Structure 1
Amino acid sequence: NPDEETSGSVAVFNISEMGEGEAEYVTLPIAEWAGIEGGGQPRVVQPEYNMAGDQVWFSVWNAKDKESALVVVDDKTLELITVIKDERLITPTGKFNVYNTRNDIY
């Protein structure tokens, strides 16, 4: 999405309220929480649960010559746990692919 606010955030729905009219949601400002420096337009992609299933790890992609990050959010409270940054993180993906695929966790 070309809109920075949209591409840098995620909408979280309470699935127990789905189907009861207009579903309400909470918007999490993932790219803002990442605190990306140096420009670009960070995009939030590929959320994945950790092995315990209590955290969601979001990849925050940016241009390959710009800073990217991983943002970790508590699944129940929707609060920021931590931000992981490293110059070696370039469009980070596949954080838990092997475990989640083998154990059918989605």
Structure 2
Amino acid sequence: MFGDRFRHFRYQKRLSLEGIAGRTGIPKPILKEIERNAIPNPSMFIMNKIATALEVSLDEMLYSSSSNTFEELDEEWLKVVREAMESGISKEEFSEFLEFYNGGRIEE
């Protein structure tokens, strides 16, 4: 889904949702909903703005060559993920932590 690829490229480029909002003019809450796939079919206009902000072609955003857009997790990452899950942290809480940790900065 578009939201999964959006998140993948955003993490890969180390950009915050706030940073993408600044580059696109799309409000952060809308971007968050797109990334979560709560808005599964954003308009072509919005998808193009996101792709441009991420410096990725729209084709690449829409047509990933792999159904799994994330790299395989090594054993250490799997352990961290398991510990987070066992602690009861939700995906949303973990995502908010990453946003906070990133400090909303844009790295270019």
The TM-score with structure 2 as length reference comes to 0.27
Greater strand fraction, Structure 1 or Structure 2? 1
TM norm structure 1: 0.28
Structure with the bigger RCO (C-alpha within 8 Å, sep 6+) is 2
Structure with bigger helix share is: 2
